Homo-oligomer: A and B are copies of this chain.
Amino acid sequence: MQLPSTLLENAVAAFAKLPGIGKKTALRLVLHLLKQDEEVTIEFGEVLQKMRKEIKFCQRCFNISDGTICSICANSGRSKEMICVVENIRDVIAIENTQQFNGTYHVLGGIISPLDGIGPDQLTIEPLIERIKKDKVTELIFALNPTIQGDTTIYYIQKKLADSTCRITTIARGIAFGGELEYADEMTLGKSISNRQPVQQYIK
């Protein structure tokens, strides 16, 4: 596809780098912006740049946050003794939408996956262990995607907590193998939190 302008070409290439957006869709988006007033595009760029520059991650749970502590950790109505461990921020949003969980979260930033070069050190496992000790956490709920990598991560963290009295559970397998948390319907996801199982029972 040959485009009549290098400016256009660069803009299309920028959009086409985003996941799930091909060159044709990118062109459609750029031409849409061209049809709008100039300010629309200026603002679009500024909003994204401001977001990227100013967004912070909560120092306790590594969720996205406007300040140093996210709104969930700062909420005194939420139990600090119950931590739900998730892979990424999208999972936090998905679980929050079920309104079934009143504890706090811990965002690992990924799962252990040696094939992708992701080991325990790249994840926020150390801060999680510290939090469990410091906050006298009574229950740790794993809400990871049901894959081998997810199970490996659960196994690794559980081993690390061998001498802890903390109860360790996982969300119930209401979600099909190979499924993605963020696409699960709220009913299934909500049930899978209230029916969480002890890890011993799950792993055996």
B8 touches A96 (CB 8 A): no
Instruction: Name, among A38, A54, A93, the residue most crowded by chain B CB atoms within 10 Å (CB to CB).
Output: A93
* A8 CA / B58 CA spacing, docked (Å): 14
Say whether A41 faces chain B, with CB atoms less than 8 Å apart: yes
Task: Indicate how many identical chains form the complex.
Answer: 2
* A44 CA / B50 CA spacing, docked (Å): 12
Say whether A64 faces chain B, with CB atoms less than 8 Å apart: yes
Give chain B nearest CB distance to A81 CB in angstroms.
21
Known: A1-B97, A8-B51, A27-B93. 12 other contacts (CB 8 A): A2-B93, A4-B63, A4-B70, A4-B72, A5-B55, A5-B66, A7-B55, A10-B50, A11-B47, A20-B28, A34-B51, A45-B46
A interface with B by C-beta (< 8 Å): 1-8, 10-11, 14, 17-21, 24-25, 27-34, 38, 41-55, 63-66, 70-72, 88-90, 92-93, 96-97, 182
